[in-house]
Amino acid sequence: AECWPATKKVEARLSVMETKMLRWTAGVTRLDRISNDAIRERFGVAPIVDKMREARLRWYGHTLRAKSDSVRKIGLNLDVSGKRPRGRPKQRWLDTLHEDLKAVNIHPDQAFNREKWRQHIRKADPAYKRDKR
């Protein structure tokens, strides 16, 4: 999940799959008219899309704090030469990451303050929400 540039379509399909599995595990059908959020609360599970975002941002924080000569830092800023193929541009990891940064309202410069970075990206962790109460 850390290095996967998931599109909105893929995220929606993953969310549907996760909800179906939770409903099946709970023994609940759509006919029971129980909301997905209620089932998620029963299990204490955060949405898979939020967990994926958290994993990507956690990895990005590690990468930003890495030494400038590390492989992951070089790979992050690597520019591949050549011509792109015809058609719509593929979803890139950095594009997904910029959307994630906007969603949690954090700037990459804050990655160097680990505690603040952790507080911003751990929105999906149910234990984190429980501890904040």
What is the distance between the alpha carbons of residues 94 and 81, in angstroms, rounded to a whole number? 17
Could you give the CA distance from residue 46 to residue 44 in angstroms, rounded to a whole number? 7
DSSP-H helix ranges across 28-113? 36-43, 48-65, 71-76, 93-104
pLDDT digits (tens, 9 = 90+) for 85-131: 899 888 888 889 999 999 888 999 988 999 988 888 887 665 555 45
pLDDT at 127: 55
Q: Rounded to whole angstroms, how far apart are CA atoms 120 and 132?
A: 13
Q: What is the pLDDT of residues 13-63, one digit of tens each?
A: 999 999 999 999 999 998 999 999 999 999 988 999 999 999 999 999 999
Query: Domain limits of the chain?
Result: 8-75+92-132
The CA distance from 11 to 19, in Å, is: 12
What's the whole-model pTM score?
0.80
* Total Cβ atoms within 10 A of residue 19: 16
